[in-house]
Structure 1
């Protein structure tokens, strides 16, 4: 493990070595910042290692989330180049694939809701195509006969988050990012400014700028002054991985998603024969237990959508914690504590927003200017002073 020499000082210290923290560190090093350091006991792990990797800014869109849509679409547009650059830098394939997404309706109520969503897409000028049930089944013959209609979004794609994480670790190391495989035990604050962190090894690292990218643990960092960050709540998601035998291929050609019994469900087929099914949404604190009920619900709903799925071998069950902010949008940029920069709270969109988050945060670290695209996601939108002002108004 490479370390800074005793008494050395970093330009940037990133607390959290998940997909966001690693990408920010890599981009920061590319911007010419010296001695970029990542602190994490298990770099390359975290919520993204459990995620399916569906890149779906359009089909993930909810009403009232237009700023988040713009951010997601900007990130999606950068993904192909980001993945290619990362593969060249690391020697690892990220599993990026242009495949599109098909969102389908299983009953008349779902069909009406999907029709409304399509109208919303059209008002925003988004590229989505309405399909009849027959047309949807023609695209994906494994769909259930009862599918009533669908939306095809050609520009939603996918990446393999586990391969992406591996590539980011290698790319960081080759860019001379220093990785300390230990926890950040305490944020160091001096004269009202973040100046570094004390590590679990009792070492102290100082830095000009500290980036907090610790997912659902971000606001729990000891030493973080009260009110600087809102509570980042953990939202549990259970996910399944199945294997499609050669005789069953192609099983699905693109991402498929639906709302079944009020719950979002998606199936993401990989070119290597893996099929990822996810994901539950559970407010269960920091519990990451895989439950029989969670597995049952995912398989039951997937079977209703794609009946043949229950014939496939089940090879893995897992659970992770999404970092959700109070408005489920990320926190990007400088906080109310000078020297501390946030890159957290991405909720369901961490994998999708990785390229744009890395670019925007690295730009701020290098220039001191908050990019316009990041401004709606300023951490200060949750500051107590601003909340009080709004309440008075």
Structure 2
């Protein structure tokens, strides 16, 4: 059997890794992706293993959202053992940074996320913080309230200090670059794996099945089972290939993260706010380098805006906002930190914001994309299921909710969507310096946004469903319907 995987991000590589254990003699896996990994959401990720920390006031209200949360929670539980599997599989090819890894601590894997509830934004932060606490309580997740003043290396500006904070013990972080290095070492050195540095131009369909992929340089690669897992670019590839399958729009969630070097202020655990303004708030995450180095690198994130096309460079406003927010909300001493790298990642975002996972009406074509900012975190559970689908095995039937050819899931009511939209836009504005002159001005501005969103819902025919706040501009511009 010849398996062909399009993409070389975390979903593609972990799916290939899972397939290794299912191969028979003579089987091959071909992985195709550009070595430079431009726009890689994986390499821009903080790799926070956060499930409960991602809950907000509108979470867990539908069957699809609850199932997605279950997958996320399962992935958090799977990561320690999965990391051990990767270390064992790499063997002598283990990256130098992993040479003394203890898996659970002391390396590129560590547990613990602090959630701080500060006053840098508006009251939406308070409601989302309360929702996280409630979810942890309801699901018996281990957490505790802590004094914000006792959080290591948390030293915000006075007017941004937190009034409340919790520590979620089992949600942690990884260095995504080291994990990718491990996967590359495992796969490139396996005798049944072929790694191609290239870009797939199109898939070739013959007699109702995919027969081959054509690379930009003209090389054609035949196969028996194909996986499209090239992130946000998957939609354009499917369109170019004229496969005759229908799928909802897939957008580029362009995000910027910053790698800084902060001598004297190294982190051991994640520090983050709740989700705010349709995104993940502000966070700082340890970025482990090596056991023989001073580990004072930190990842700051993250910005996000939805676009129908890719952006290859970070926007100045995004970089400036992250820098200022990290200094004011996490540690005022970051003003003296060194900027090591600006990462730009294209998070694959569907119209309904849920992933596209599983087989298609073309029986030898599987798709795995649309994971937004959760791809790295979800990769242990997604890869396990995708490898099973590629081998014709039975998986949880609930994954059918996220089938690639489904109609958009519309599980937000119009009323909730408009309320979410108003709150998200106000929250965004507060983060960027919005200060109303008085209560009346704020009320007038909220009323204006509400009327505008009601008109948008009317325009697109959203009478009994609602537009997710992240997709407002895509509906406004006609890229989502």
Smaller-chain TM-score bracket: 0.7 to 0.9
> How far has the Cα of 1:197 moved from its partner?
1.1
Q: 1:12 — aligned with what?
A: 3
The answer to whether the 8 A contact 1:83-1:96 is kept is no
1:190 and 2:214 are equivalent in the alignment: no
> How far has the Cα of 1:43 moved from its partner?
7.0
Residue deviations 1:159-185 (CA, integer Å, cap 9, x gap): 111111111111112333111212112
Residue deviations 1:90-135 (CA, integer Å, cap 9, x gap): 212385322311111112823344123312332344333334xxx1
Of 235, 239, 256, the residue aligned with 2:253 is 235
Q: Distance in 2 between matches of 1:201 and 1:300?
A: 44
Pair 316,268 (structure 1): closer, same or farther in 2 beyond 3 Å: same
The answer to whether the 8 A contact 2:248-2:405 is kept is no
> How far has the Cα of 1:148 moved from its partner?
0.8
> How far has the Cα of 1:311 moved from its partner?
2.2
The answer to whether the 8 A contact 1:44-1:166 is kept is no
> How far has the Cα of 1:141 moved from its partner?
5.0
Please, what is the CA RMSD of the aligned residues? Answer: 2.4
The answer to whether the 8 A contact 1:227-1:383 is kept is no
Q: 1:270 — aligned with what?
A: 287
Residue deviations 1:28-80 (CA, integer Å, cap 9, x gap): 12211511111112276622111111111121234033211111121121111
Q: Distance in 2 between matches of 1:205 and 1:371?
A: 31
Q: Distance in 2 between matches of 1:192 and 1:329?
A: 27
1:283 is paired with a residue whose SS is strand
1:380 is paired with a residue whose SS is coil
The answer to whether the 8 A contact 1:17-1:43 is kept is no
Q: 1:54 — aligned with what?
A: 48
Note the 1:35-184 alignment, pairs <5 A. Answer: 35-42=28-35, 46-62=40-56, 63-64=59-60, 65-90=65-90, 91-92=94-95, 93=98, 96-107=108-119, 109=123, 110-131=125-146, 135-144=147-156, 146-175=161-190, 176-184=192-200
- Of 155-164 and 174-183, more deviation after overlay is shown by 174-183
Q: Distance in 2 between matches of 1:310 and 1:362?
A: 46
The answer to whether the 8 A contact 2:262-2:336 is kept is no
Alignment coverage as a number of residue pairs? 370
> How far has the Cα of 1:364 moved from its partner?
1.7
2:77 is paired with a residue whose SS is helix
1:332 and 2:350 are equivalent in the alignment: no
Q: Distance in 2 between matches of 1:277 and 1:329?
A: 25
Residue deviations 1:236-276 (CA, integer Å, cap 9, x gap): 1111111122xx14x43310111597461110023421110
Of 201, 204, 207, the residue aligned with 2:217 is 201
The answer to whether the 8 A contact 2:252-2:347 is kept is yes
Q: Distance in 2 between matches of 1:363 and 1:331?
A: 16
Note the 1:18-33 alignment, pairs <5 A. Answer: 18-32=9-23
1:368 is paired with a residue whose SS is coil
Pair 236,202 (structure 1): closer, same or farther in 2 beyond 3 Å: same
Q: Distance in 2 between matches of 1:346 and 1:30?
A: 24
Q: 2:243 — aligned with what?
A: 225
Pair 99,124 (structure 1): closer, same or farther in 2 beyond 3 Å: closer
Q: Distance in 2 between matches of 1:74 and 1:293?
A: 36
TM-score by length of 1: 0.87
- Of 298-307 and 39-48, more deviation after overlay is shown by 39-48
Runs of at least 5 residues in structure 2 that lack an aligned partner in the other structure: 102-106, 289-294, 410-462, 464-481
Runs of at least 5 residues in structure 1 that lack an aligned partner in the other structure: 1-9, 385-390
1:255 and 2:278 are equivalent in the alignment: no
Q: Distance in 1 between matches of 2:244 and 2:52?
A: 36
TM-score by length of 2: 0.72
Of 301, 304, 317, the residue aligned with 2:325 is 301
Q: Distance in 1 between matches of 2:178 and 2:82?
A: 14
Q: Distance in 1 between matches of 2:198 and 2:407?
A: 30
Q: Distance in 2 between matches of 1:76 and 1:373?
A: 19
Q: 1:6 — aligned with what?
A: none
- Of 14-23 and 365-374, more deviation after overlay is shown by 365-374
